[in-house]
Amino acid sequence: MEQLIHSLLLALHNIALVGCAAAPFYNRNLVISRSQYGAKLLYELDKVVEDTLQGNAPYCIFFIATLFITGFGMPLNHYFFHGAFKEISTVAMIAGIIKLLFIFGMVVIMTIIFLKINPELKKIFSGFTKNVLPDATIEAKFFKLRKRRKYLCEICLVFVIIILVSSAFLGFNMN
């Protein structure tokens, strides 16, 4: 039973890792594709970009929450069946610490994006219309916020790669 629970937790954990990696990767590709048209509002295109990027927020939150729950669930599963936490190597301990630090870093970045930048972008975009050119100052502010979000997403993508690599060392058994 312990192995079954561990396997289910590990499978969910790996799915969440893939989700955490896919979101910034595909969002980055969307933003890069959009950037080829310059920093001028193209209402229909920009609406799709904003709806897509802002619509992904609940998925990101779900994947991060799943990482935390399953990440802590695996050692707790062992503890439940054995009355003690599993001994791990120094390499695995360091990998676990690195992984947690970068997950917390992602949470900080997501908090900035989801609670500060996205609401500002949504507010500005709600003032745009399909048939009226936006005020140049407001349009510039909109694209400046988008540039900031892109930069933070790029950092998030690097963090995800570090998390994925460090995850490979969690099963390292040599002390």
**Tokens linked to 96:** 């676990």
Q: What per-residue confidence (pLDDT) applies to 47? A: 95
Provide CB contacts within 8 A for 173, sequence distance 6+.
89, 92
**Is it the case that residue 40 has pLDDT exceeding 80?**
yes
- What would the pLDDT profile of 49-96 be if each residue is shown by its tens digit? 999 999 888 888 899 899 889 988 999 998 999 998 888 889 999 999
State mean pLDDT over 154-172. 88
- Helix ranges (DSSP H) in 36-175: 43-55, 57-82, 90-112, 118-126, 136-168
- pTM (two decimals): 0.85
Q: What per-residue confidence (pLDDT) applies to 175? A: 47
**Is it the case that residue 174 has pLDDT exceeding 80?**
no
- What would the pLDDT profile of 111-152 be if each residue is shown by its tens digit? 999 999 999 999 999 999 998 889 999 999 999 999 999 999
State mean pLDDT over 13-34. 86
Q: What per-residue confidence (pLDDT) applies to 173? A: 66
